[in-house]
Amino acid sequence: MFIRSQVARLANACQSAQGAASRAKTFPELVRASHVPVPSYLRQLMHRECNSLKAHAERVGEVLFERQVAELNRLAAIGRISERAQRLDQLRQEWLVLSGNFPKLAHRARRIS
């Protein structure tokens, strides 16, 4: 009975986290929103929900990253080089959270100059 209630509670938490991840505007927000602590004794039972949340967070992260790169490209295209450099510095600080959470995006972010 206890395990079932814990699994149901965590499944709801994963669903809520997906909604919060969808609303994230920055990578730190996305990381916080998509983190649902799962006790070790429930990890195997929650495998599907955890993987679904992780995949959703990665899709949201991809969209967010593409928006940020598009913003940098737009600033470069209209000749606002100093604004682009300043925004890139801000994004690099934001992208620090990628390496532990979204390694593929972290690799792409390191290649942006």
The predicted-structure confidence for 27-50, as pLDDT tens digits, reads as follows: 999 999 999 999 998 889 899 999
Report the pLDDT value the prediction gives residue 3, as an integer from 0 to 100.
84
pLDDT at 113 > cutoff 80:
no
pLDDT at 98 > cutoff 90:
yes
Residues in the chain: 113
Q: Which two tokens stand for residue 63?
A: 């969209």
- Please, where are the H alpha helices in 44-111? 47-77, 81-94, 98-101, 103-110
CB count within 10 Å of CB 68 equals 20
Q: Burial of 50 by CB count in 10 Å (0-12 exposed, 13-18 middle, 19+ buried)?
A: middle
Report the pLDDT value the prediction gives residue 101, as an integer from 0 to 100.
92
